[in-house]
A and B are shown apart, each in its own frame.
Chain A
């Protein structure tokens, strides 16, 4: 017996959902180097040597200095250092309208559970949550970027929630379906610009959201 949905508009939603799911969708990605072409066409600013203490470059200088520039020159560490964590928050996030956190995670390296590198807080919004990630000493990945994930407590599934660009703090919108389904482990990883969407396996820090 088919289930009955009272709301007329929901019938339309269901019909449209069915119609748009009848053909499979194959994900595709832009060809490699597109971001470089965009930065060239827009003439994005070249790297400025950071005056504050930056993490030592890993290995030799990257082949494409333009990419590193996006983190150190155009608003990554340098801006973060100028504004500080509190400055970043007030410079455009929703700090003043948030409710208290309902869950909190202490972020540590995988092999050093007592080395607290950061905190993640889950704050309810009108729709979904904001995950507020705070890393006071900062974290960046030279030549690549830092990505934020939620890993399911079953250990089998994960989902990316965003990029950790400013280095010290970041807000990420989280659908409540993800929290309900057990995606409660916050993970920050080093990623390369390689069009490979999966987790690199190189976790910087991780922690589980608990009440």
Chain B
């Protein structure tokens, strides 16, 4: 991951392509969920990767930085698109409007939903499954241990480490610059 960020920052075009291959679906899904339109999501996705390339020298190479950096750009482009929609319905189009609280909340909700779904999938099984069963299906650790056929201690460990991962992800999402 650090190698990819370094390559992108230094102008390696294949690095942008790799970033696109890995994260364009994530960006598109967030955009489509926030804007409600695949066509608008296409526009935003294209803008995000073009903006990423143009501002590549601002990317600091570090292990976790690259996807967060891309999501920061995506958040900005999506918020902008939502503000533009609001503007066309107002008389004073020249006024520079800040993103309304509703827009900000909406974008943050969408980010959380998609990023959490992505995190669960990347945790794989059984850790993602354990998190789902304990917190979304409200099953006790005992029940989960029996149903999955894994020791109780392992269930607890998956819960603890899974929550730590989610906490890290939420901290990253909260620190996205938009």
Contact = CB atoms under 8 A, between A and B. Distances in A.
Interface in A22-44: 23, 25-31, 34-35, 37-39, 41-42, 44
B46 interface: yes
Interface string B20-55: 111011001100110000100110011001100100
A5 B159 CA distance: 10
19 contacts: A3-B140, A18-B136, A26-B29, A28-B28, A28-B29, A28-B38, A29-B25, A34-B24, A42-B13, A45-B13, A70-B13, A75-B14, A152-B124, A157-B124, A162-B22, A163-B22, A166-B14, A177-B158, A181-B126
Shortest Cβ-Cβ A-B pairs, 4 listed: A92-B6, A20-B112, A74-B13, A25-B117
B161 interface: yes
Interface residues of B, number: 62
A177 B163 CA distance: 12
Contacts of A10: 163, 167
Nearest to B132: A21
Contact of B13 (A44, A91, A166): A44
A88 to B, nearest CB: 8
Contacts of A127: 63
Nearest to B53: A42
A21 B136 contact: yes
Interface of A: 1-3, 5, 9-10, 13-14, 16-21, 23, 25-31, 34-35, 37-39, 41-42, 44-45, 70-71, 74-76, 79, 91-94, 125, 127, 145, 152, 157, 159, 162-163, 165-166, 170-173, 175-178, 180-181, 183, 197
B33 to A, nearest CB: 7
Given A16-B170, A38-B49, A181-B125, A93 B18 contact: no
Given A1-B140, A25-B29, A25-B33, A30 B42 contact: yes
